[in-house]
Amino acid sequence: MARNEHLPIYKAGFDLCLYFEQIVRGFSRYHKYGLGSDLRDGSRRVLRLIVRANARTDKVPVLLEVREEVEELKVLLRLCHEARALPNMNSFEQAAGLLVNIAKQNEGWIKSQRIPDRGRNRSAIPEGTAGPGEP
């Protein structure tokens, strides 16, 4: 079983879950059970996907799911802000910062998983021969 606690992206995802739990608690009843539930569920899905990606050898498909989920959460957070469900602007800024942090770490993880493929492709072209699109 893979350990997750050492991953910075896991820590950021866990912090996001805790933060959404705290701010949704302050939502009005009207927003708490709609937008608030969606925020909480989405953040937990991100955390589960991070754990799943860490346990797999082929991480890229799951990391692409993380990317999609984070983008959906960004849209939902913006909707919460526009609908005035969030208690203040600081809550929006902090939640957006947490989401951007996770998105950046996820993109770095995706790139680190794809680098070995690029190296093999380059070494397959003999030196002195032009690759596609090169003079």
CATH of the domain at 70: 1.20.1440.60
Residue 124 in domain: no
The 8-class DSSP code of residue 72 comes to: H
User: What pLDDT was estimated at residue 48?
Assistant: 97
Question: Domains in the chain: how many in total?
Answer: 1
Computed over its alpha carbons, how large is the radius of gyration of the chain?
19
Residue 105 in domain: yes
Residue 126 in domain: no
Residue 122 in domain: no
Q: What is the pTM of this model?
A: 0.80
Distance of CA 96 to the CA centre of its chain: 12
pLDDT over 60 (residue 86) = yes
* pLDDT 10s digits, 1-40: 467 788 999 999 999 999 999 999 999 999 999 999 999 9
Contact 73, 42 (CB under 8 A): yes
Count of Cβ atoms closer than 10 Å to residue 18 Cβ = 12
> What is the residue range of 100's domain?
8-113
Contact 42, 80 (CB under 8 A): no
User: What pLDDT was estimated at residue 95?
Assistant: 96
